[in-house]
Amino acid sequence: MAMALLQYDATVPEHLLCPVCYEVPPGRIAQCHAGHLICAHTDPAQSGGELCCLAKLHARAAVIGVAAICPVCRVPLPGDNRCIAAERSIALLPTACRHCAADTTRGNLAAHEAICPTAPTVGSVIVTHEERAEHEALCALRALGELNRVRPSDGATQLWVAAFRGDADVVSRLIAAGADVEAACTIDDTTPLYIAAAEGHADVVELLIAAGADFGSNSDGVSPLLRAAAHGHVDVVAR
């Protein structure tokens, strides 16, 4: 199942959001030496079977032979530096079921929604229970004009984050809803296409190219094709 799109929630302080996925960490949380929080859960079920953000940072760094760094302060990440205080703070935050609107806490939300009897329909669109979160998120983002909202930490949009994750389903939905395929991360000027190619997500690369994404070089003179080749992503180069 694809990961849910970002749910904007003013009740969650920004310092409790993960600077990689810009979502509320679903379980175990790690922190850098400066205190910035990063998703570090070990249960794949909490992220649709994907690696947590901390594991992705270490994996990506290992590919190019460098130490993983915090995406905010750019200092090397410690091996295992858990922040239990943040985990408990998030678990106590109030929230509501996305389906029946019942009040609960974030710590109890997953258990509640797992048994929520709400019918799997959204307006006139029929979706499965698992697809409802993604559908409602897109509807809300489109209505609020938030499709191209950027993360304050690095200017990355929803589409950039989904491309980095390799989440082709979310990328496809965002493109269909009108997301800007050229909106680049403000720190390193990488576009969704560039980061998808660098991470080896061939299916996402194909979607972005079909949507008209520019395959030219970014500000450092390196094209998505060259970056994919440098990382050994033959399937991306073949596209």
pLDDT along the chain (239 residues), means of 10: 43 82 84 91 59 86 88 87 90 81 81 62 46 57 58 73 84 84 81 88 90 76 72 67
Residue reference for tokens 């750019």: 74
Considering the chain, tell me which residue range(s) the CATH 3.30.40 domain(s) occupy. 14-93
Task: Give the span between the Cα atoms of 193 and 205, in whole angstroms.
Answer: 6
Q: What's the predicted TM-score (pTM) here?
A: 0.44
pLDDT for position 17: 87
Where would I find the beta strands (DSSP E) of the chain?
A: 29-31, 37-39, 94-96, 103-105, 121-122, 125-126
pLDDT for position 15: 85
Considering the chain, tell me which residue range(s) the CATH 1.25.40.20 domain(s) occupy. 147-238
Residue 38: phi and psi, rounded to 5, are -140, 135
pLDDT for position 120: 44
**CATH tag, 147-238:** 1.25.40.20
**CATH tag, 14-93:** 3.30.40
H or E stretch including 137? Answer: helix 132-144
pLDDT for position 16: 87
Nearest to 163 by CA among 227, 116, 96, 69: 227
